[in-house]
Amino acid sequence: MNFKSKLYKPVNADINKWGQKQSNGSFSGLIGEMVRGKADVGLGNLQYTPYHLDLMDLSIPYTSQCWTFLTPEALSDNSWKTLILPFKLYMWITVLLVLLVTGSIFYGLAKFYLNLLEFKDHSSIYDKHLDKQIVYDGAKPVGLYLFGEIINSILYTYGMLLVVSLPKLPTGWSIRLLTGWYWLYCILLVVSYRASMTAILANPAPRVTLDTLKELVESKIACGGWGTQTKIFFEESLDEIGEKIGEKFQIVNDPDEAAAKVAQGVFAYYENKHFLKYLSVKRKNSLIDTTPQDNSTANSTAVTAKKKDERNLHIMSDCVINIPISLGFQKNSPLKPLADLYLSRIVEVGLVEKWLNDAMHPIKSLDSQEEEIKALMNLKKLYGAFIALAIGYFLSTISLIGEFIHWYLIVKKDPNFDKYALDVYYANKNKRQ
């Protein structure tokens, strides 16, 4: 293009960056240099928006960037739900319904066989003209006592679900056939549960992250980013979620300060995805001072220990917006038409993508050096078992207290109660029932 470039940084570029409108009407940063005519070309992340087009001419976009939020990962985990994690909610509801229905069917079949046997006994008595004083003593045939009462039927059905053998093979072919098929169902269910449980215990705990704007709004954490123009962008959003983010959007000019607040779990920082990746990796590797060495990509780093209460940083997967990025020129600049031509050729041959990959390579290298998370078995993963045991202790204690209350307030106050002949008392009570 037949000119020599003279690169320089605006005053206080680290603070003012692209620049924004001051109280006296002037502009700071890169935009200020362009508006005042001190620079012919603006090299930076200039978004192709009406705001910038009013201040300068923009070249054709040479790339687009995903702008999103850097969010904290949740410290809470779901280890206490380990026992129920293998199945979804609807699956647990189905298992419970099958348990209740099958237990009721076992009970119904057992009662049917008991009534049928009692009917046969009475018929044989009358047919043989035996003593009329002989009565059916109520003893349940072998194998039917398992399901003779609805509570026992549910408990034994639940025991089969836990792969516990029945103490006695049921009597009656219909109950035996149902037992066999129910055993097949239990085997398949238990194998599926064990396989899923093994996978859960063998893998690292899943990360709890914010990946959508809706989740970010519902999380109640503060949001922020650089510049008043970004805040205006959210405040003038046409959707309700964007407006809610604009209401709590805070202007933060120091990205390191923003990353520290994100690590504390109280903030979400808005920037382009590549810069957020840089911040995340820098924070993860505790980089305090980064200086290039001898034209290489190696960095010298000072490492500090990570605090225990700090969160891991996570880049939200959803993009708030994909913004085209351009070069800036002074209004009616003669350089723009030829620059557009060269930019289009550079984009077509893939140089922009290559330069971006080269720039991000050191960051990705540091990210890949992070030690792989090992899925070790620890006490934390077994919280669910202890919680289940605690629930069992609690329910057992409540049941024991209920039995004491029933014994002292109902049984002992019965006029027919005789503590010296409890067997006679319960036999008479069962006959009355």
What is the predicted pLDDT for the residue at 114? 76
Tokens standing for 229? 């123009």
> Could you give the CA distance from residue 404 to residue 378 in angstroms, rounded to a whole number?
40
Token representation of residue 245: 């983010």
pLDDT single digits (tens) 152-204: 888 889 999 988 888 887 777 888 888 889 999 999 999 999 998 888 877 76
Nearest to 153 by CA among 99, 98, 97, 94: 99
pLDDT at site 124: 55
Strand partners, 27: 21
Tell me what pLDDT residue 360 has.
Answer: 86
Per-residue pLDDT, averaged over 122-142, amounts to 49
Mean pLDDT of the chain: 80
Q: How far is CA 238 from the centre of its chain?
A: 29
Whether pLDDT at 132 is above 70 = no
Q: Which is nearest to 42 in space by CA: 12, 70, 7?
A: 7
Pairing between β-strand 267-272 and β-strand 63-72 as defined by DSSP bridges: antiparallel
Residue among 377, 395, 393 at smallest CA distance from 82: 377
DSSP 3-state of 137: coil
Q: Are 260 and 313 in contact (CB under 8 A)?
A: no
Higher local confidence (pLDDT), 429 or 369? 429
DSSP 322-374: EEEEEEEE-TT-THHHHHHHHHHHHHHTTHHHHHHHHHHHHHHHHHHTSPPPP
Asked if residue 292 has pLDDT above 60, the reply is no
Task: Report, as an integer, the average pLDDT of 410-426.
Answer: 80
In which band, very low, low, confident or very high, does the pLDDT at 300 lie, cut at 50, 70 and 90? Answer: very low
Q: Which one is predicted more confidently, 19 or 1? A: 19
Residue with the larger pLDDT of the pair 75 and 112: 112
Instruction: Please report the pLDDT score of residue 151 as a whole number.
Output: 86
pLDDT beyond 60 at 386: yes
Residue 128 has pLDDT above 60, yes or no: no
| Among the ranges given (167-171, 267-271, 352-356), the one the predictor scored with the smallest mean pLDDT | 167-171
pLDDT, residue 296, reads: 37
Class of residue 64 by CB neighbours under 10 A (exposed 0-12, middle 13-18, buried 19+): middle
| pLDDT(301) > 60 | no
For residues 51-75, average pLDDT: 87
Q: How far apart are CA 33 and CA 21, in angstroms?
A: 12
Q: Counting runs of H as helices and runs of E as strands, what totals does the chain give?
A: 15, 10
Q: Assess whether pLDDT exceeds 60 at residue 325.
A: yes
In 3-state terms, what secondary structure has residue 223?
A: strand
